[in-house]
Structure 1
Amino acid sequence: MIIITGATGALNGATVDHLLERMLANHIVVVARDVASAERFADLGVTVRHGDYADPASLPAAFDGASQLLLVSSSDPAADAVSLHRAAIDAAATVGVGRILYTSHQGASLDTPFRPAVDHAMTEQLLAESGIPWTSLRNGFYAHSLTWLAGPWRETGVIAVPADGPVSWTAREDAAEAAAIILESDGAYEGPVTLTAASAPTFDEVAVMAAEVTGKTVEHVLVGEDEWIAAQLASGQPEFRSRFVLGMYQAAGQGFFAGVDPLLGTLLGREPRTVRDLLTSGG
């Protein structure tokens, strides 16, 4: 039995959709904090169970019987993500889950300025210490994030960022499909697995592509970090969130998102979606 957490979100929800194209619904269980929010899966014959990382007592029953368990990472920047993930891993060990797959991130490292990637690295350490076979899906930085990380360039003609570096912008839809394929393989992939698009353009290169796609002038501007933070605050963004996002740009500038891997394309049997595809579609 394959048990999926986070299926009411875009990433793991799409993974469930792809699994349903490959296997019977009664082989799949989804776990949700709010069972009602997963009604569309129940309507398809998928078992829905209640489970909440923040309520460890709810997790053993939620994970019971899993030959494979796909754990979504916590997306709340204010939460203690590692503690939440530890609760899930401990529950998986308690009920004898056969394998844990975890939605990690390219650039997972204890040294990165991007806080979620530190949490991913710490969670991978927990998985390695758990005694449970595990696979970490190190997805490339999700390409749809460009719609806000690049700023309102369609209106201003400017992509202004506080640091620049190569990023393997990867379609979340492709990562979701690859996760389903890896789950279907039932243990063919061990440890960290990198799933990225085929290239890693800088913001400067994104600006060039944006100009080509729109036929308009699009300029890339590198601004000071303090200036960028001040602009974010002036636009109404909370300082906590602004500094959280700053860490992403800093990590890009230090090369944490630069690597690319052909595995995603191999799994999909086609070229992964590109930044140009995103820009052309209006993203």
Structure 2
Amino acid sequence: MIVVTGASGQLGRLVIDALLQTLPAAEIVAAVRNPEKVADLAALGVVVRAADYSQPETLAAAFEGADKVLLISSSEVGQRFPQHQNVIAAAQTAGVGLLAYTSILHAAESPLPLALEHQQTEQALAESSVPYVLLRNGWYTENYTASVPVALEHGMVFGCAGEGRIASAARADYAAAAAAVLTSTAPQAGKVYELAGDDAYTLTALAAEIAGQTGKAIVYQNMPEADYAAALMGAGLPDYIATLLAESDTGASKGGLFDDSKTLSQLIGRPTTPLAEMVKIALAV
């Protein structure tokens, strides 16, 4: 039995979709805060269990009988580490055979402030008795293609990544990797996967791709980090999200979102989704 935590989220749902390609629904557990949000999965035969990272008693029940658990990192930045500790403790008590954790690309040396709680979680895993595998996910391409409407409106892609190279991949690519690891017959405990897109690009290249597909003049406007964060807040993003995105762009300028190992495409057995395809999808919405 494989338990997927955070299963109602965008990544979690994609992981379950991928698992359903090779496993019976009854062998998959969707662990979620609100079971009503995954009624569609329950209708497919997926086992649904209530689980809240901040409520250890729910985790104990959710992990009962679990052979493997996918810990999708919490979305609550600043609260992630204690929440992840709860999951690790519950997995240890349940005798889980393998815990897969979605960390961040090159976590140990990442220049992104976002990496801190991932580093803490990786250390907690190392100190636990739970067999684990690290899925160090790079950036989602959707993080950038979400700005396509703004780029079309203003004729600019805004950011503070300079000419940093970004080896992002589609969320579905990372989901396929998680499913591949969870269903692999080869031993996975102790492995560390640095997962990123096959082809890196700069935000200048992203602007050029949008321009090429729309025929409109789109350029990249590089900004100081504080100005970019302020612009994101002005656009209506919550302060912590705006700060996170701006800090991550700065991290990208220092190489924090680059990797050329092609580990992700090797793991999923196909090329990662190209930037051009992701821009095309964003323009069709």
TM-score (norm 2): 0.91
1:172/1:86 CA distance change after superposition, 3 Å? same
Q: What is residue 28 of structure 2 aligned with on the other side? A: 28
Letter of the 1:221 counterpart: Q
1:214/1:122 CA distance change after superposition, 3 Å? same
Checking the alignment, whether the CA contact within 8 Å between 2:230 and 2:242 is kept in structure 1 is no
* Aligned equivalents of 1:212, 1:155: Cα separation in 2: 16
4+ residue segments displaced more than 4 Å? none
Matches within 5 A, 1:89-108: 89-108=88-107
Residue 112 of structure 1 and its aligned partner are, at CA, apart by: 2.5
Checking the alignment, whether the CA contact within 8 Å between 1:73 and 1:103 is kept in structure 2 is yes
Q: What is residue 166 of structure 1 aligned with on the other side? A: 165
Cα deviation 1:62-82 (Å, max 9, x = unaligned): 1121111111110123x4100
Question: Are 1:57 and 2:57 counterparts?
Answer: yes
1:118/1:150 CA distance change after superposition, 3 Å? farther
Residue 125 of structure 1 and its aligned partner are, at CA, apart by: 1.2
Q: Is the deviation greater in 96-105 or in 160-169?
A: 160-169
Q: What is residue 123 of structure 1 aligned with on the other side? A: 121
Q: Secondary structure at the match of 1:198?
A: coil
Q: Secondary structure at the match of 1:160?
A: strand
* Aligned equivalents of 1:19, 1:162: Cα separation in 2: 37
Q: Secondary structure at the match of 1:167?
A: coil
How many residues are treated as equivalent by the alignment? Answer: 281
The two structures, once aligned, show a CA RMSD in angstroms of: 2.0
1:2/1:234 CA distance change after superposition, 3 Å? closer
Residue 186 of structure 1 and its aligned partner are, at CA, apart by: 4.2
Residue 110 of structure 1 and its aligned partner are, at CA, apart by: 6.4
Q: Is the deviation greater in 106-115 or in 51-60?
A: 106-115
Q: What is residue 86 of structure 2 aligned with on the other side? A: 87
Cα deviation 1:186-239 (Å, max 9, x = unaligned): 453333212221011111221222222222222112122333234334434444
Q: Is the deviation greater in 92-101 or in 57-66?
A: 57-66
Q: Is the deviation greater in 105-114 or in 37-46?
A: 105-114
* Aligned equivalents of 1:202, 1:95: Cα separation in 2: 44
1:35/1:215 CA distance change after superposition, 3 Å? same
Residue 150 of structure 1 and its aligned partner are, at CA, apart by: 6.6
Residue 89 of structure 1 and its aligned partner are, at CA, apart by: 0.1
Q: What is residue 277 of structure 1 aligned with on the other side? A: 277
Q: Secondary structure at the match of 1:152?
A: helix
* Aligned equivalents of 1:10, 1:235: Cα separation in 2: 23
Identify unmatched segments of 5+ residues in structure 1: none
Question: Are 1:197 and 2:208 counterparts?
Answer: no
State the identity as a percent.
33
Identify unmatched segments of 5+ residues in structure 2: none
Q: Secondary structure at the match of 1:142?
A: coil
1:83/1:159 CA distance change after superposition, 3 Å? same
Q: Secondary structure at the match of 2:166?
A: coil
Checking the alignment, whether the CA contact within 8 Å between 1:73 and 1:81 is kept in structure 2 is yes
Residue 121 of structure 1 and its aligned partner are, at CA, apart by: 1.6
Checking the alignment, whether the CA contact within 8 Å between 1:143 and 1:275 is kept in structure 2 is yes
Q: Is the deviation greater in 64-73 or in 211-220?
A: 211-220
Q: What is residue 144 of structure 1 aligned with on the other side? A: 142
Letter of the 2:65 counterpart: G
Checking the alignment, whether the CA contact within 8 Å between 1:99 and 1:187 is kept in structure 2 is no
Q: Secondary structure at the match of 1:168?
A: coil
1:240/1:19 CA distance change after superposition, 3 Å? closer
Q: What is residue 183 of structure 1 aligned with on the other side? A: 182
Q: Is the deviation greater in 96-105 or in 179-188?
A: 179-188
Q: Secondary structure at the match of 1:141?
A: coil
Cα deviation 1:122-175 (Å, max 9, x = unaligned): 111111111211111112200111134577111221112123211111100111
Matches within 5 A, 1:204-219: 204-219=204-219
Q: Secondary structure at the match of 1:29?
A: strand
TM-score (norm 1): 0.91
Q: Secondary structure at the match of 2:282?
A: coil
* Aligned equivalents of 1:57, 1:152: Cα separation in 2: 43
Residue 84 of structure 1 and its aligned partner are, at CA, apart by: 0.1
Q: What is residue 133 of structure 2 aligned with on the other side? A: 135
